[in-house]
Amino acid sequence: MKILISGARGRMGRGIERKKGENEIVCGICRTFFDAKFPLYESFENIEEDFDIIIDFSVAENVEKVLEFTERCKKPLIMGTTGLSERDENRMKELSKVVPILYSHNTSLGVNRFLQILENAAAILKDEYDIEIIEKHDRGKKDAPSGTAGMVLQAIEDGSKINRSVVNGRKGVCPRADGEIGVHSIRGGNLGSEHYVSFITEDETIEINHYSPNYDIYCSGAVKAGEVLVKLAPGLYSMRDIIERM
């Protein structure tokens, strides 16, 4: 599989190069050049190399250009960039009618299996347990709670079929209300990615967690997902869709 990386200089872009396996990085897009083992371009207009798939882990401001280029070249796209506008998401849905697109905030195979486990647990436990989420990341992570924490919330809601009110941290006099779910963010040093979910009653606690010391899980997951995506018909796919086809 021949890969074009959009956001080649970023943490994810470099990780994809490390985790490419037997696949080939044919070129990359980045705003500032670096010592890469493949050709780099500032603009999609200058690309001459043949490729099988675009993997985008850039910035939201760049997404419109990525989608325009995807529409022109008609090649599969993995969209891992977060913070997309509603307009970008709608355009991506339209574009998926002619090319296969994977859109996910988290391309880790383990994390997505973790989400499936949580959905099943929530379906079994329903509203009998209080639920708390703690997520930890390094001091440089920009958003809080994490995008994965949002996916955790959605998995729990999908499993239990219950709409819970979300409380991000607690302060002051705040006894727990029925039907709420607490989300707490910790940032510091070079912490890896950690997500803990606790199901709690007066007499017992069930805990399910996922931990990774670095971001390579997202890179290897994106590459493996790409190997599946290039064989699929046009459509908008999730990581669950991809995992089910592995």
CA-to-CA dists, residue 17 to 21, 216, 223, angstroms: 9, 10, 10
Q: Which residues contact 194 (CB under 8 A, 6 or more apart)?
A: 134, 135, 136, 137, 209, 210, 211, 212
Of 216, 237, 230, the closest CA to residue 51 belongs to 230
- Mean pLDDT confidence for 106-122: 96
How high is the pLDDT of residue 132?
Answer: 97
How high is the pLDDT of residue 226?
Answer: 98
Q: Report the C-alpha gap between 136 and 194 in whole angstroms.
A: 5
- Given the DSSP bridges, would you call strands 180-187 and 130-137 parallel, antiparallel or unpaired? parallel
Is the pTM of the predicted complex or chain greater than 0.85? yes
How high is the pLDDT of residue 211?
Answer: 96
Cβ(18)–Cβ(41) below 8 Å: no
Q: Residue for token digits 């080649």?
A: 8
Starting from the edge strand earliest in sequence, which strands make up the sheet with 205-212, in order? 165-168, 180-187, 130-137, 193-200, 205-212
How high is the pLDDT of residue 83?
Answer: 82
Residues forming the active site: 137, 141
CA-to-CA dists, residue 118 to 20, 62, 93, 175, angstroms: 29, 33, 27, 25
**Which of 93-97, 98-102, 211-215 has the weakest average pLDDT?**
211-215
pLDDT confidence bin for 112, thresholds 50/70/90: very high
pLDDT greater than 90 at residue 147 = no
Of 189, 208, 187, the closest CA to residue 110 belongs to 208
Q: Report the C-alpha gap between 156 and 158 in whole angstroms.
A: 5
Q: What is the pLDDT of residues 41-89, one digit of tens each?
A: 999 999 999 999 999 999 989 999 999 999 999 999 999 998 889 999 9
pLDDT confidence bin for 212, thresholds 50/70/90: very high
pLDDT greater than 90 at residue 126 = no
How high is the pLDDT of residue 61?
Answer: 92
Q: Report the C-alpha gap between 130 and 31 in whole angstroms.
A: 46
